[in-house]
Structure 1
Amino acid sequence: MAETPVIKGEVRKEFGKGAARRLRRDWRLPGVLYGEGHDNYHFHVDLLEMQTLIRYEGVNAVMELELEGQQHLCMVRHIDQNILTLDIDHIDLLTVKRGQKVEVEVPVVTEGEIAPGGQLLQETDNVLVLVDPLKIPDEIVINVEGMEIGTQIFSSDLPLPDGVSLVNDEEDDLFVNITEPEEAEVPEEGDEAPETDGEDAPAGQEPDAVDEGSKNDSDTE
Structure 2
Amino acid sequence: MSEVRIAAEPRSEFGKGAARKIRRQDKVPAVLYGHGIDPKHLTLPGHEVLLALRTANVLIHLKGDGVDELALPKGVQRDPIRGFIEHLDLLLVKRGEKVTVEIPVTTVGDVNSEGLLDQQLVSIAVEAEATHIPTGVEVDVEGMEVGTSITAGDLKLPKGAVLAADPELLVLQVSAKQVEVAEEEGEAAEGEAAAGESTEAAE
Alignment of 1:13-28 (within 5 A): 13-28=12-27
- How many residues of Structure 1 are paired with residues of Structure 2 in the alignment? 189
Aligned to 1:10: 9
CA distance in 2, matches of 1:16, 1:146: 56
Aligned to 1:219: none
Aligned to 1:76: 73
CA distance in 2, matches of 1:74, 1:103: 13
Aligned to 2:201: none
Larger Rg: 1
- Say yes or no: does 1:182 pair with 2:184: no
- Say yes or no: does 1:150 pair with 2:150: no
Aligned to 1:51: 50
**TM-score, normalised to structure 2's length?**
0.87
Q: Deviations over 1:21-44 (max 9, x none)?
A: 111011010010001142100111
- Say yes or no: does 1:62 pair with 2:59: yes
Greater RCO, 1 or 2 (C-alpha within 8 Å, sep 6+): 2
Alignment of 1:45-194 (within 5 A): 45-55=44-54, 57-58=55-56, 60-169=57-166, 171-183=167-179, 184=182, 185-186=185-186, 188=188, 189-190=191-192
Consecutive unaligned residues in structure 2, runs of 5 or more = 197-203
More helix by share: 2
SS at match of 2:165: coil
Consecutive unaligned residues in structure 1, runs of 5 or more = 194-221
Percent of aligned pairs with the same amino acid: 37
Aligned to 2:28: 29
Structure 1 residue 187: Cα displacement: 5.8
TM superposition outliers: structure 1 runs of 4+ over 4 Å: none
CA distance in 2, matches of 1:98, 1:142: 29
